[in-house]
Amino acid sequence: MNYPISEIVRLIKADNADLFQYTISELLTDSRSLTFPEETLFFALVTSRNDGHRYIDDLYRKGVRNFVISKDIENVEKMPEANFLRVHDTLEALQNLVAAHRKRFNIPVIGVTGSNGKTIVKEWLYQLLHEDYNMVRSPRSYNSQIGVPLSVWQINDATELAVIEAGISQPGEMINLEDIIRPTVGVITNIGNAHQEGFSSVEEKCIEKLVLFKNADSIIYNGDSPVIFDAVEKLCMGTREIAWSHRDKNSPLYIIKIIKNEASTTVKYSYLQYESEFTIPFVEDASVENAIHCLAVMLYLGKTSSEIAARMLLLEPVAMRLEVKEGRNNCLLINDTYNSDINSLEIALDFQMRRSGAAGMKRTLILSDLLQTGMMPSTLYRKVSQLISHKGIDRLIGIGPEISSCERFFGMETEFYVSTDAFLQSGGAERFSNELVLIKGSRDFHFELISEALELKQHETILEVNLDAMVHNFHFYRQKLKPETKMICMVKAFGYGAGSYELAKTLQDRGCDYLAVAVADEGAELRKAGITMPIMVMNPEMNSFRTLFSYSLEPEVYSFKLLNALIKEAELLGITHYPVHIKIDSGMHRLGFTEEDMLHLTEILKGQPSVIARSVFSHFAGSDEARFDGFSQQQIAVFKECAEMVQKATPQPVLRHILNTAGISRFTDEQMDAVRLGIGLYGISPLGEEKGLRNVSALKTTILQIKELDSDQTVGYGRRGTLARRSRIAALPIGYADGLDRHLGNRKGYVIIHGKHAPYVGNICMDVCMVDVTDIDCKEGDKVEIFGDNLPVTEVARWLDTIPYEILTSVSSRVKRIYFRE
């Protein structure tokens, strides 16, 4: 939906008179999620941990011009085109704006609340109903005081049904969410002990949650729950209820029988005296209860029993937030640090039990204090002890003051530490072998440090990365451009071998506008490491869509097959206006849409709400060679025509970019809206010598051992290393498994030791190579340069008749990266 800024001022009662006239379609509360700055309204929220006002300068530089504030802003004179809408409380302003937005629509809205199962019920309702309605639903778990407004803002004139999730942790919170959601139908899944500490009793929490449905037409809940049943009666909601029951045959929805099979469950029910049944491909009690809630909603909406049965059978599980990684000493790690309640612990333990390929492994659990349960520690950890014993845990490592104080309740092999730091400092990370390790804890305990320690790989070969040199190269190309031209920096292929995260963090701090990675997993790792700036994915795979959406990664789209599949997945997940980058094949003929494809492409873009073009781009075939300049100019002309057609099909401004590293230097006038900086960022010019660039990466190792050999001896496999004299041969701990090309062996190349050349002798081995140090004064432990400041990577590439890209990206991930600043 689009709102003129003047209308927003009126709705949030801001203190403003003179304004620049902008149109707003996007609301932003987290500066890391910026996508369309031109139409974004940023709410500078103030919390106990953060203050959104501190990000205004950076957002203005990135193109945002509209801000809702509650404090005075410094450097206003440096933001001459900005609107600052002054209010007393920015969160209240956000909620008031979206509450007014919601009142514009007279559609059915299903509100879902409860202690557990909210997200699953919401997602299953979408799976069951999206064929019949144009639906909006809360993204991910946007169920908070901030998340609910952002969810409801998605509703637009095309929306026919909305499913909105609402969660609370304190009394008095739900009344705000009720005014924003205004559900016509309410579902309360259950009432448990999660987030209990803010309430004096479970009953009080239940009544607070039911406030969400004070104006709803009907309420759906488990009538066999005495807490919910009594609360509904107390609030006089009984005349509007659909209270399903296993026990009361007079209930409108009576559950006659539940039949569990090995991999499915059949539910027989009676609704208004008509009997029927459905089957779901799940057996857990929670899944059955969630499915019955969905059944009640479908019956309320008039779906037939045959429709219900057919769709229930096709329900899919909601993705669990668990990561499985290889660990040290033949360990397998299951990383689940998303939340720490006892219900999610049980799910994670079930996942651990079912993990294939773990036969014979000891089952170990690393568990933090469980937060926000509302239970006394003694009661809670007795229950935890029973649970993990039942799930077959052999070894428990408890971290946190509460679980440590309850050591007496655990009967298996145990270790306890008051903090994550205490565990790491104890050397506990070194004492794992042949174990299936579940790492389960609250984010407050920073268990990612434990995961990193268990994955740690040590190697005597290192890649040194000079971050200051990279910053220098960034500014070297930046100064060639107009101030408003955006910089897209390529950190794909693990940052051209240099390691993505440190480079990305440095670029983010230096004002880079976009990062580009090759595949979704690379982008996900950057997000997990704290990178918040926009990230393009240049080669998205069909099976990576969930990763893209989960981590706000923006895919390149180069074919109709990929585009249609992406739209379908976005529709399935209820995602709208997701930014994508359209690739045009202007003559390179690798990937991309051709001129002939443009009419059909623009029809697709205009005909759906799921994805929207954030940029359109193309790639030169020979921008680094003058002999291809005519062809390059032809590519530019083709690209501009195609880009104009994409822009006409897209309401938001679309960025255009065709210049790569060579293009920045040779076709600077064609910089358009953005450029892509690749190999030049790492100190290598595709034009050959380009003064002003600095080397970024240096691959180094050490001498393991030195042997003196007579001239009749040979070195290495196949006796290929022959000697012409008595020689000193040094063994180095680097081989082709580290990325050292085997073709460098047998004196085709050399390394640098104390400034002198030491040629390779014999074949390069997997983990070791040998060099001739007869004429070099050196000893075991001395440093060796494979490539770097003294031996340019371009020279190594020349020996191998290849390009520097291949040398850099071939450095194995097992080689430790060392980052430094001068």
Q: Which residues are annotated as a binding site?
A: 590, 766
- Kindly state the tokens that stand for 446: 């920073």
Calpha distance 801→262 (Å, rounded)? 60
Asked if residue 353 lies in contact with residue 322, where contact means CB atoms within 8 angstroms, the answer is no
Q: Convert 652-699 into a string of H (helix), E (strand) and C (coil).
A: CCCEEECCCHHHHHHCHHHCCCEEEECHHHHCCCCCCCCCCCCCCEEE
805 catalytic per annotation? no
How many angstroms separate the CA atoms of 37 and 28, rounded?
9
Are 636 and 676 within 8 A, CB to CB? no
Contacts for 286 with CB less than 8 Å, ≥ 6 apart: 116, 117, 120, 343
Q: Which residues, 6+ apart, have CB-to-CB distance to 427 below 8 Å?
A: none
Q: What is the DSSP string of 78-99?
A: G-TT-EEEE-S-HHHHHHHHHH
The total of other beta-carbon atoms located within 10 Å of residue 332's CB is: 18
- Active-site hit among 118, 492, 583, 700: 492
3-state secondary structure of 252: coil
Starting at the edge strand found earlier in the chain, the sheet holding 514-517 runs 655-657, 611-618, 578-584, 554-557, 535-537, 514-517, 486-490, 674-677
Dist CA 660 CA 667 (whole Å): 10
- Give the span between the Cα atoms of 362 and 706, in whole angstroms: 42
Catalytic annotation on 717? yes
Q: CA angle at residue 89 from 85 to 94, to 5 degrees?
A: 70
SS (H, E, C) 24-46: ECEEECCHHHCCCHHHEEEECCE
C-alpha distances in Å from residue 349, one per residue of 136, 289, 330, 391, 444: 33, 20, 20, 7, 21
Side by side, which strands form the sheet with 109-113? 135-137, 161-165, 109-113, 185-188, 218-222, 241-244
In angstroms, the CA 248 to CA 273 distance is 13
Neighbouring-strand partners of residue 220: 187, 242
481: which 2 tokens?
């451009």
Query: At which residue do the structure tokens 């959601």 appear?
Result: 181
Q: Which of 103, 606, 717, 783 is catalytic?
A: 717
Copy the structure tokens of residue 310.
Answer: 């057919």
CA distances from 289 to 296, 303, 489, 698 (A): 11, 19, 49, 58
Question: Which one, of 87, 563, 131, 577, lies nearest residue 314 by Cα?
Answer: 131
Going by C-alpha positions, the residue among 177, 201, 169, 160 that lies closest to residue 112 is 177
CA distance 22 to 37: 11
Are 186 and 220 a contacting pair, CB within 8 Å? yes
Binding-site annotation: residue ranges for substrate: 590, 766
Distance between CA atoms of residues 260 and 267, nearest Å: 9
For the chain, report the end-to-end CA distance as a whole number of angstroms: 49
Contact 786, 776 (CB under 8 A): no
Query: Are the CB atoms for 556 and 516 separated by under 8 Å?
Result: no
Rg (CA), the chain: 31
- The number of angstroms, rounded, from the C-alpha of 271 to the middle of its chain's C-alpha atoms is 43
Which residues belong to the active site?
A: 492, 717
